[in-house]
């Protein structure tokens, strides 16, 4: 290729690149073709609100008396020979994301396990989990989840996990709230029998 042909080819390549990218920086309009490449459409999408990750995020506490629930057979409460099941909390986690309006969105995770006692039998066991976000005596959110954990035949334990998301803490409380979780409810640790 001669020197003049090489210069002409370079000029065309530069022009082709300019036509593709258009004028202006990404997000400032540009050409329709450039927008098609960058945004999969001819229009520039609105700017996304920035989520702030470095925000106040307190540890998760367990409510008093809420770390475990036990069920006993035949009125033998407190006797190890009468224990049918015990459900307890194992691991806790939380995630907080600050919003542009100053509020914080909280996600809480709870893991635990169910164990069979001397009088227990395999089956599905109800697990009631309560998650409370509060500031002092003011409750911001009170979420209850009821799920089940399976203990298969030939085994003595099973595990469960609960994830609760979308808890919004207002901006006024975003720097001084607490997160509490606990197990409890009416007759929570009783097995559910399959209907046949």
| Strand 60-62 with 178-183, pairing | parallel
For residues 62 and 37, give the distance between their C-alpha atoms in angstroms, rounded to a whole number. Answer: 51
Supply the pLDDT for residue 50: 55
The region of weakest confidence among 25-29, 56-60, 71-75, 160-164 is 25-29
What domains does the chain contain, in order, with CATH numbers?
3-39 (no CATH), 60-192 (2.60.40)
Distance CA 139, CA 135 (A): 6
Q: What torsion do the CA atoms of 114, 178, 136, 55 make, to the nearest 10 degrees?
A: -170
Read off the pLDDT band of 190 (50, 70, 90).
very low
Section 86-94 average pLDDT: 95
H helix or E strand, kind and range, residue 33 = helix 32-39
Tell me: the pLDDT tens digits for 143-181? Answer: 999 999 999 999 999 999 999 999 999 999 999 999 999
Q: How far apart are CA 56 and CA 173, in angstroms?
A: 10
Does the predicted model carry a pTM greater than 0.75? no
User: By the 8 A CB rule, do 167 and 141 touch?
Assistant: yes
Least confident interval from 114-118, 171-175, 185-189: 185-189
> Can you give the pLDDT at residue 74?
75
- Residue 153 is classified by DSSP as T
């Amino acid at each position: 290729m001669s020197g003049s042909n090489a210069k002409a080819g370079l000029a065309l390549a530069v022009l082709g690149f300019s036509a593709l990218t258009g004028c202006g920086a990404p997000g400032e309009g540009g050409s329709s073709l450039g927008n098609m490449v960058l945004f999969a459409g001819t229009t520039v999408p609105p700017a996304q609100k920035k989520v702030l990750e470095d925000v106040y995020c307190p540890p998760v506490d367990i409510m008093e008396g809420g770390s475990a629930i036990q069920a006993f057979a035949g009125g033998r409460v407190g006797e190890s020979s009468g224990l049918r099941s015990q459900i307890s909390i194992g691991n806790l986690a939380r995630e907080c994301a600050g919003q542009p309006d100053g509020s914080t969105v909280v996600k809480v995770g709870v893991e635990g396990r169910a164990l069979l006692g001397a009088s227990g039998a395999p089956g599905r066991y109800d697990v009631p989990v309560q998650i409370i976000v509060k500031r002092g005596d003011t409750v911001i959110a009170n979420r209850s989840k009821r799920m089940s954990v399976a203990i298969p035949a030939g085994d003595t334990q099973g595990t469960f996990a609960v994830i609760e998301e979308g808890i919004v803490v207002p901006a006024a409380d975003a720097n001084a709230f607490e997160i509490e979780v606990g197990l409890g409810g009416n007759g929570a640790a009783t097995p559910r029998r399959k209907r046949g």
